Structures are given as structure tokens and as C-alpha cells.
Amino acid sequence: MDTGIDFLTPEFLNLIFFEQKNLVIYPYVDLKHLKALEIFSVGHNILDLESTALYNLKEIIELETENYSQTPNLYIIYNLTREKAKDLLDLKGARCILNVSEDARNLANGELFIFYNKKSRQFINYEFTDKSLKFEEYLISNSENETILLDNIQKIKSTASKIFMHLNKTGDLANPESYMGEYKKRFWPKILRFVENYYQVKIPEVKSEKTSFEVKTVKSKDLSTISDEYDTILTNNIIGKEFIQLLHKYVNENVNTNNLEAKDLYNPRKLYIYLRNHHWDEEIPEDFLFNWIKMEHTNYALQSQDLDDFESIFECLGISSHLLNNILDTNLEDSGVEAIERSASLQSEEVSSVKITDFPQFKQQILSLLDKIEKKLGID
């Protein structure tokens, strides 16, 4: 049974909003479900056209397209036969989402219209990669509901408008962080891609003394490497158990589970692999690491060996020992002297790296370390 939620996917967000593509969806979909796609059509006037009520659809759309408007139209045309749809496939300069009641796969020709088989849930003339949908997955998974998702998309449109006005005024974009600074740099190319596609402009290469803007290709982590990371996490049973519980909690709160197979939702290894490729590809969030070491789910007091194991795990995950020290200082409520000694030992490694010739700095670090130990022991 169709629902509007079926269309709220990273792929449709990419094609309709960022790539500004036209679509053919087949077979029949009820209009009320098709209209869910309006959320990705920010920047357009949406016009619904019932094909059986109009005999000159193509002429109407071509005439409207010739009339300049600051806000272009996007036509949702439904109840189309294959023959009527074929007549519309050479439309240029118009934005359309066509719903054909019949099998329309044989009409696919090029990329002017992207064809989607809603029964198999496949795009038959367009391919995606995991990396190409990173921003879309981030936007959907971090929006609690459709209203928030729409707000987030409108916010990108507003950012794009400011960039476009700046380009018109100056002819370059020497300071992109002033417009896109609230987004991670790896998402900037996708925002600029929208600017180019929506406003029909070419953004010049960005060069700045402050910011060197480059589109970088990041290779996906090898599955065997990620699986090895997961195995390392489980070398300490109690630490691994805490990690798995936090993993499920994170997925429930931060991930759109529609992007996962039902059977994978209960498989922590597959969840970890999914997160490392889609959400944690750059790093595991510090908040997650802080909560992990608190051990609140298992209510276990870490011992010296556990801290050794954490250090080994962090090394495997590429997390600095300095961060581990900060986590211990900030979050770990030690109940035993062993843990206090271990924390002091880890920090002593930093102190020992200070040259004795820099005596004032050495003295300051020693006093700071003693102060931390006294606080952990409860000495006033």
C-alpha cells in the first residue's frame, strides 16, 4: 500500500531539490501521496494537473514556461497514459513530476526525466552512491518530522539565495564560510550544486587566503576494516556490552530507520558498519564517546585493566589518547584508587613530554595534575 512517506527518501531529495531533475513515477500513485514530494520542491509554485481533464497539456506548460517568473512552476501531472506521457518527455525548461498509470520503463531515454518504478522502488536510468547522498541522509535523519525537514530545506534555499545575490554583485565567492559556516565543509559542494542548478549559474572556483575550498573525494571505509574495529570494541565484554546498548539508543534517536533493513536493526555489527559509512564516516561523535565511558547502562565501575582496554580500543578507532584523558577528567566518577592512579598515569605522559628547560611550564603542569588528583580523592 502506498504512503506519502515512501517518497521522503534521500534519493528523491537529491533529485528534486539538489539536482533539479524531472521525474516519471509509475505505475499509478494517488495524488495525495505524490504531494508528499512538495517538501522537496522548495522554490517552486506547485501546480497539480489531472491529465484526463486537459487535451493540450504540452501547450499549456510550454506557454507558462515562456512567461518569466521569479518563482518557477513545478507541475505534478497525474493519471497519465503511456502515450500522453511520451508526448511530454521532450519538454525543456519546465519542471515536472509525471505519474503514469502504466508500465513506462520503455520510455526512459537519457536523463531529462528520471524514471522510478514504485513497485520495485528502483530508479531505472539513474545511479546513486553512498557518498552522493550524505547530506540528504543527514538532513532527513536529523529532522524529527516533516515540518522540521521542510524548515531545514528552506534554510538551505535561503542560504543559496544569499550566495546567488553575492555572486551577482561581486562575481566571485571568496568567503564561502560567511554563508555556509554553520554546515560541515563536506556539505558545501552540495549547497553550491543547488545554487548552480536552481539559478542556472556557474560558480567560479573558490580561492581565499582564509579558506581553500575544494571538492574532495573521500573513499568509503573498507568493510573488513570497520568489522575489525567492531571486533576490537568487543574484546572487553563489559565495555562491548555498554557500547552495543548505546549504539541501539543512538540509532533510535538519530537515524531514519527506513534506510535500514528490518533484520539489520537488531544486528549491532551491521548497525555499526552502517553508521561508519553514513553518519560516523569522519569520526565517532565525542558525545557518544563521553557517554560510553560513563558506563551508565551497565552501571559498572571501570578498573585499571578496563582503562587499558579503552586506550587500546581508542587507538584502533584512531581516537587520540588526549581525548581519552579529557573524557576521564570530565565524565568519569571514579570509585577506586586504581582508576585515579590510571588517570594520573595517562596524564603524566603529557607532562613527561615537556622539556625540563621550560621549567615554568613544567611546574605549572605538575601543579595542575596534583590539583586534578586531589579533586578526584575529595581533598579540599
Q: With bands split at pLDDT 50, 70 and 90, how would you rate the model's confidence at 227?
A: confident
Q: With bands split at pLDDT 50, 70 and 90, how would you rate the model's confidence at 130?
A: low
Q: Could you tell me which residue, 130 or 265, shows the higher pLDDT?
A: 265
According to the model, what pLDDT value does residue 215 have?
34
pLDDT digits (tens, 9 = 90+) for 29-45: 999 999 999 999 999 99
- Whole-angstrom distance, CA of residue 255 vs CA of residue 113: 30
According to DSSP, the residues that pair with 98 across neighbouring strands are: 24, 77
According to the model, what pLDDT value does residue 209 have?
40
Question: With pLDDT > 90 as the criterion, what percentage of the chain qualifies?
Answer: 37
Which of 136, 90, 81 lies closest to 113 in space, CA to CA?
Answer: 90
According to the model, what pLDDT value does residue 91 have?
87
Highest mean pLDDT: which of 53-67, 91-105, 281-295, 348-362? Answer: 91-105
80-89 long-range contacts (CB < 8 A, ≥24 apart) are: 80/51, 81/51, 82/107, 84/51, 84/57, 85/24, 87/57, 87/58, 88/57, 88/58, 88/61, 89/24, 89/113
pLDDT digits (tens, 9 = 90+) for 291-331: 898 888 888 888 888 888 888 888 888 876 666 666 666 55
According to the model, what pLDDT value does residue 308 have?
82
Q: With bands split at pLDDT 50, 70 and 90, how would you rate the model's confidence at 4?
A: confident
Q: Could you tell me which residue, 20 or 218, shows the higher pLDDT?
A: 20
- Whole-angstrom distance, CA of residue 300 vs CA of residue 250: 20
- Whole-angstrom distance, CA of residue 107 vs CA of residue 373: 73
Instruction: Give all strands of the β-sheet with 45-50 in edge-to-edge order.
Output: 45-50, 73-80, 95-100, 22-26, 113-117, 122-123
According to the model, what pLDDT value does residue 119 have?
92
Average pLDDT of the residues of the chain: 80
- Whole-angstrom distance, CA of residue 376 vs CA of residue 380: 10
Residues constituting the chain: 380
According to the model, what pLDDT value does residue 328 have?
65
Q: Could you tell me which residue, 1 or 167, shows the higher pLDDT?
A: 167
pLDDT digits (tens, 9 = 90+) for 169-222: 888 887 888 899 888 888 899 999 999 999 988 887 655 444 334 333 333 445
Instruction: Kindly tell me if the per-residue pLDDT of 338 is higher than 50.
Output: no
- Whole-angstrom distance, CA of residue 256 vs CA of residue 141: 5
Q: With bands split at pLDDT 50, 70 and 90, how would you rate the model's confidence at 224?
A: low
pLDDT digits (tens, 9 = 90+) for 228-257: 888 889 989 899 999 999 999 998 888 877
According to the model, what pLDDT value does residue 336 have?
43
Instruction: Kindly tell me if the per-residue pLDDT of 15 is higher than 90.
Output: yes
pLDDT digits (tens, 9 = 90+) for 71-85: 899 999 999 999 999
Which of 348, 355, 290 lies closest to 323 in space, CA to CA?
Answer: 290
Domains of the chain: 4-128 (3.40.50), 134-199 (no CATH), 223-333 (no CATH)
Q: With bands split at pLDDT 50, 70 and 90, how would you rate the model's confidence at 356?
A: very low
Q: Could you tell me which residue, 127 or 321, shows the higher pLDDT?
A: 127
| Stretch among 92-96, 150-154, 222-226, 357-361 having the lowest mean pLDDT | 357-361
Instruction: Kindly tell me if the per-residue pLDDT of 343 is higher than 60.
Output: no
Average pLDDT over residues 100-120: 92
Instruction: Kindly tell me if the per-residue pLDDT of 168 is higher than 90.
Output: no
- Whole-angstrom distance, CA of residue 265 vs CA of residue 232: 21
